[in-house]
Structure 1
Amino acid sequence: MHELGVVMEVARVVEAFARENEVEEVDTIVLQVGELSSMVPKYIYDVYPAAVDGTMLENTKLDIEIIPGNGKCGECETVFNILENRAVCPNCQSAQFELLSGREFYIKEIVCY
């Protein structure tokens, strides 16, 4: 489970941001996670308390927004969700597509008091 290391790095980045901007308290960290990324949101939530334990982020909330894994069909140019359609265009049944989104992992927002 690599989520712990990644979430610890997120905590380090957010703490550095807070120090640089003289922020004393962070309320919420909002992450965007692509549904095709290697990060599992449930595991991120599970490891978050351990990752922020003993830091200035210990009492923060975590919010995760899922970015859909969308592709654009190489044949008919239909945009479709890759997981929901099992990587096959629902319009023409082509399996050729360009990945548009879904592999992201971002710190979207740091909500401060």
Structure 2
Amino acid sequence: MHELSIIIDLVALCEKNAKEQNAKEIESLEIKIGRLSGVEPHYLESAYEFYKKGTICENAKLIIHVQNIVVQCNNCGEKNELDKNEFLCPKCGSNKLDVIDGEDMYLMRLTMK
């Protein structure tokens, strides 16, 4: 379960940012997880609930946005969002696609006080 190591790094990043901003507490962390990132949101939530105790994030809410796969077709140029791991252009049926979004995990917003 690599989600725990992700949470450990995420909490360390929060602590670093809070220190730089002279914040005493993190209120919320908002992250975006791509469907192709290899990160399972429910495991990430479980790891967060386990690890946050005794950290600056102890009372912080973890908000997760799952990013669908965004592709651009090299055949017709159409840009689409895929909600299944079916890599065919919805417009022309081509499998010549470039993935534009949905492969990464980002910390989008950090609310501190």
The TM-score with structure 1 as length reference comes to 0.92
Percent identity over the alignment is: 27
What residue number does 2:45 align with? 45
Distance across 2 between alignment mates of 1:61 and 1:20: 21
Residue 83 (structure 1) shift? 4.4
- Secondary structure of the structure 2 residue equivalent to 1:70: strand
2:43 match: secondary structure: helix
Residue 92 (structure 2) pairs with residue 92 (structure 1): yes
Segments of structure 2 that go 5 or more residues without pairing to the other structure are none
1:61 alignment partner AA:
K
User: How far apart in 2 are the matches of 1:84 and 1:107?
Assistant: 24
| 1:34-76: CA deviation from partner (whole Å, max 9, x where unpaired) | 1111111111111101221221211111001122211101100
1:64 equivalent in structure 2? 64
The separation in 2 between residues aligned to 1:3 and 1:89, in whole angstroms, is 31
Could you tell which deviates more after superposition, 59-68 or 8-17? 59-68
For structure 1, list consecutive stretches of 5 or more residues without a partner in the other structure: none
Please tell me whether residue 81 in structure 1 is matched to residue 96 in structure 2.
no
CA drift of 1:92 comes to 1.2
How many residues in Structure 1 have an aligned counterpart in Structure 2? 113
* SS of aligned partner of 1:55: coil
Which segment is superposed worse, 4-13 or 76-85?
76-85
- Stretches of 4+ aligned residues off by more than 3 angstroms: none
Tell me the distance in 2 between the aligned counterparts of 1:17 and 1:10: 11
